[in-house]
Amino acid sequence: MSDKWGINTITIAMTDNAYALKIQDILHRYSDYIYGRIGLPSKCARFFIISVIFLGAEEKALELVETIKKEVPEVRVGISSL
């Protein structure tokens, strides 16, 4: 795979913030690529959202998404690229 670089926004949504520590550990593994992140509680208080700005090789961003899906299947995760 080529080293295609870009800006990716990864959004993680969870209904129970008990998963936040697992997510934090995973994000720490990819900290060299993470430009910034923010946690946002929803207005209806039923879920919590973490948005991550990921700068680097696109394959690493996809790897992060797959790692989250595999290690914390209880959360929803999506990615968009610029």
CA–CA separation, 4 and 6 (whole Å): 7
Range of the domain at 76: 5-81
Q: Where are the alpha helices (DSSP H) in the chain?
A: 20-29, 58-71
**pLDDT of 30-71, one tens digit each?**
999 889 888 877 666 677 888 999 988 888 999 999 999 999
pLDDT for the residue numbered 16: 81
More confident residue, 45 or 2: 45
| Torsion sign, CA atoms 63, 65, 5, 52 | negative
Residue 76 pLDDT > 90: yes
Q: What is the CATH number of the domain that holds 38?
A: 3.30.70.1150
Letter for the amino acid at 66?
A: E
Domain count of the fold of the chain: 1
19, 82 in Cβ contact below 8 A?
no
Q: What is the pTM of this model?
A: 0.83
